[in-house]
Amino acid sequence: MIRIEGLEKSFGRNKVLRGVDLEIKEGETLTIMGGSGTGKSVLIKHMVGLLTPDKGRIWVDDVEITNLGEEELQKVQRRFGYLFQGAALFDSQTVGENIGFGIKHLRPDLVPRLKEVVAEKLELVGLKPEIADLKPSELSGGMKKRVGLARAIAYEPDYILYDEPTTGLDPIMSDVINDLILGVQKKLGVTSVVVTHDMNSAYKISNRMAMLYQGKVVSIGTPDEIRNTTNPLVKQFVTGSSQGPIQMQVRTFE
């Protein structure tokens, strides 16, 4: 369980989070949706202690992580897998070394059969074990995301955070990633938080969905509740309309 209370964060004069309250239940997949620049990625980086809040508190199970020292925080971080937006694979290492990285540092018990585990995880995300010797620069965008996912789940974490897992992918590859997220959820029974603005993906993979707007969670509910919402902010976002209470700054060409 992850619990967030009154989370605030600013970068310089830009106040990104203005009091977020959110609870992610054990074993569920919660999607955080919202427009670009609303602080979705900032929010999940707080959950794993990559950012420190200006105000507010965060609990992972019973541990409050906001004021932890380096060593204690690392113990909590080890329970998380994180799929980064651009996959964040280590350029200097092969695919196999990338996937094995977390195992070497977090699961020494699996090191004797490292090659086997890497091959297993690659197969789990629908990739051939032979690609283990390739460098990340030799992979397509979709393959990078899948390798990123394999790396995030390799050491069997309790929580997985997905930062825009389908962004930049074609619709078919996006659906492949959605199926992978569902498959990982089913197989490992982890608690997942997914940041996305891809509504098809959100409806498919979520147990609950939360909408972030102007630094606060403005609505939370099951996919059906969100689909049939009367909240004008959420309605505008899920239907993808430019008309409504959410005003974007756009430049018009005359």
State yes or no: residue 101 binds other proteins (CB under 8 A).
yes
Three-class secondary structure assignment of the chain: CEEEEEEEEEECCEEEEEEEEEEECCCCEEEEECCCCCCHHHHHHHHCCCCCCCEEEEEECCEECCCCCHHHHHHHHCCEEEECCCCCCCCCCCHHHHHHHHHHHHCHHHHHHHHHHHHHHHHHCCCCHHHHHCCHHHCCHHHHHHHHHHHHHCCCCCEEEEECCCCCCCHHHHHHHHHHHHHHHHHHCCEEEEEECCHHHHHHHCCEEEEEECCEEEEEECHHHHHCCCCHHHHHHHHCCCCCCCCCCCCCCC
Whichever of 21 and 72 has its CB closer to other proteins, that residue is 72
Using the minimum distance from each CB to other proteins, give the nearer residue, 63 or 245: 63
48 binds other proteins (CB under 8 A): yes
Q: Which stretch binds other proteins (CB under 8 A): 61-69, 99-107, 198-206, 232-240?
A: 99-107
Smallest gap from residue 148 Cβ to other proteins (A): 9
Name the one range near other proteins by CB under 8 A: 48-56, 127-135, 215-223, 236-244.
48-56
Q: Using CB under 8 A, pick the residue from 15, 57, 78, 204 that binds other proteins.
A: 78
Q: Of the ranges 112-120, 124-132, 151-159, 241-249, which one interacts with other proteins (CB under 8 A)?
A: 151-159
